[in-house]
């Protein structure tokens, strides 16, 4: 089972990383997650972002994630405490 967290996108750090304000955590997650987590996008299914990160830039990511309710399927936590995750747009209430 994959750990999953949900929340609203916040500050963008690069063309493929941002802060998630965590509002929900899947019951049964193996790890603990803080109220704010730095996310490195491994893959994305977010309106406005193409599948390939080669064409992303910080402005495009800001327009796509800031304020959006997002689902992050956690792949791993890097040495720098950044979560590597598959990120998708999530429907409010339906997670």
Going by their DSSP bridges, the two strands 36-45 and 4-14 should be labelled as: unpaired
Please answer whether residues 75 and 82 qualify as being in contact, where contact means their C-beta atoms are separated by less than 8 angstroms: no
Tokens at 9, concatenated: 């996108």
Q: Which residues does 22 contact at the CB level (< 8 Å), separation at least 6? A: 5, 6, 7, 33, 34, 35, 36, 37
Asked whether the predicted pLDDT for residue 93 surpasses 80, the reply is no
40-91, pLDDT tens digit by residue? 999 998 888 876 778 899 999 999 999 999 999 999 999 899 999 999 988 6
Asked whether the predicted pLDDT for residue 30 surpasses 80, the reply is yes
14 forms beta bridges with 17
77-93 burial by CB neighbour count: b if 16+ within 10 A, else e? beeeeebebbbebbeee
Asked whether the predicted pLDDT for residue 3 surpasses 80, the reply is yes
């Amino acid at each position: 089972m994959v750990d999953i967290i949900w929340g609203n996108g916040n500050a963008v750090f690069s063309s493929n990383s941002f802060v998630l304000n965590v509002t929900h955590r899947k019951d049964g997650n193996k790890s603990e997650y803080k109220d704010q987590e730095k996310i490195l996008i491994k893959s994305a299914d977010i309106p406005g972002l193409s599948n390939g990160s080669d064409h992303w830039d910080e402005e495009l990511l800001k327009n796509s994630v800031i304020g959006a309710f997002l689902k992050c399927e956690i792949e791993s936590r890097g040495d720098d405490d950044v979560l590597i995750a598959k990120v998708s747009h999530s429907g409010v209430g339906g997670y």
